[in-house]
Amino acid sequence: MCGLIGLHLKNPALEPRLGELLSQMLEAMTTRGPDSAGIAVYADHPAARAGQEQDLRYSLRSEEPIDWDLLAKRIGAEAGGDVRVEPLGTDSAVFGSNAGEASFLAAVRRIAPQVSVPAFGRSMLVVKDVGAPAAICARYGIPAWRGYQGIGHTRMATESAVTTAHSHPFAPAADLALVHNGSFSNYATIRGQLARKGIRCDTDNDSEVAARLIAARMAEGADLEEGLRTVLKEMDGFFTLLVTTRTQFAVVRDSFACKPAVIAETGDYVAMASEYHALAGLPGITGARVFEPMPEEIHVWTR
C-alpha cells in the first residue's frame, strides 16, 4: 500500500499556500505509507540575472556531511559552468547551473559519489527521505514552499528496500516526476529492454522502471499522454500513477483499477489523492467536482 497526493493550481492566488496544502495532504496519507515519503514541487523561478533563464536546478542530497560550496566550485570547474548553491535542510542543497545536464551529472558522480541527485529541472525540486511524512515535511520546511504544482508519495514498501533512493517521486528527466501506488510484475523485463537502449536505473525499484520508460518515450518525442499509454501497453501490474511535467499533471490507473484514486476539481485547482480524506482540508472542497478516474483512462491537465 502507498499513498499518493497531488495538486495542480489554476488560480495563482493559491501559489503561496502550495507547500502548506501539500504537507497536510501528505500527512493525511501517513496511514497508507508510514515508512518513507517524498514530494516534488514546481515553481516559477525568475532568473536572478539575465542569461540564467535556461539554467537547470538540481536537487542534491548527501548521506554524509559535505561542504556544499566547495562541491559547487569543483563541479563548476569540472563541468564548465556557473554553479549557485541554495542549502536545503542539513543533508540537501539545490544547485543552479548553466553547465549541460550530462556534464553536470557526470561531474557529481565523479567528484562526490556519495551525493545523489534525486531530480533536476527548470521548475521542479524533489525531496524524499525515510521516516514519517510529517517529519520529512517539517525538516525541509515544505509548508513554506510556494509553487504552482506538486505531487507527493507516502510509501509502504513491497517490492524493494526502504531507503531514500527507493522512495518516490522518481524523477529521471528534467521536470518529470512520477509517484506510484501498486506493483509492477514485469518490470525486470522492461528494465532489461531499457538497458539495451542504454538507459540505466539507479535502483531495483519497480516504479523507477515506469518512470524511466515514460522518460525514454518522451525523449523520443512522445508527449506525456503517449508516455502513459506506453505504460498501459507495456507494463503489467497494478498501478495508480500520478505523473507531472513542467506544464502537465496526469493520472492513470490499470485495467483493474484496484488501487484507489480520487480527483477533485474546482475553478482554482485539480487535486488528486489515494483517499478522499487527504483532500478534505482543501479550500472550497465542498464545492468541488469529485470523481474517480476509470480504468485505463488517462486524465491530463495542462497549465
The catalytic residues are: 2
Is the Cβ of residue 188 or residue 294 nearer to another protein in the bound state? 294
Helix (H) or strand (E) holding 8: strand 2-9
Candidate residues 73, 109, 294, 302; the one interacting with another protein per rule CB under 8 A: 294
125 binds another protein, rule: CB under 8 A: no
Is the Cβ of residue 135 or residue 294 nearer to another protein in the bound state? 294
Sheet holding 237-244, edge to edge: 170-173, 176-184, 237-244, 248-253, 298-302
Sketch the per residue contact string, 270 through 289, with another protein: x for CB under 8 A, - otherwise.
Answer: -----xxxxxxx--------
Sketch the per residue contact string, 252 through 271, with another protein: x for CB under 8 A, - otherwise.
Answer: ----xxx-x-x---------
The beta strand positions in 122-236, using DSSP E, are 124-130, 149-155, 170-173, 176-184
∠ CA 103-107-109, rounded to 5°: 120
CB of 292 to another protein, least distance (A): 6
3-state SS assignment for residue 273:
strand
End-to-end C-alpha distance for the chain, whole angstroms: 30
What nine digits make up the cell of 254?
490499470
CB of 124 to another protein, least distance (A): 28
- Cα 296 to Cα 206, 223, 251, 252: the distances in Å are 19, 17, 10, 6
* Nearest alpha-carbon partner for 246 in 167, 153, 177: 177
Is the Cβ of residue 167 or residue 266 nearer to another protein in the bound state? 266
Is the Cβ of residue 54 or residue 286 nearer to another protein in the bound state? 286
CB of 209 to another protein, least distance (A): 26
* Nearest alpha-carbon partner for 214 in 196, 198, 232, 195: 232
Is the Cβ of residue 179 or residue 273 nearer to another protein in the bound state? 273
Binding residues among 139-178 for another protein as defined by CB under 8 A? none
CB of 276 to another protein, least distance (A): 4
Bridge partners for 246 per DSSP: none
CA distance 298 to 303: 16
CB of 82 to another protein, least distance (A): 47
Contact positions vs another protein (CB under 8 A): 256-258, 260, 262, 275-281, 290, 292, 294-295
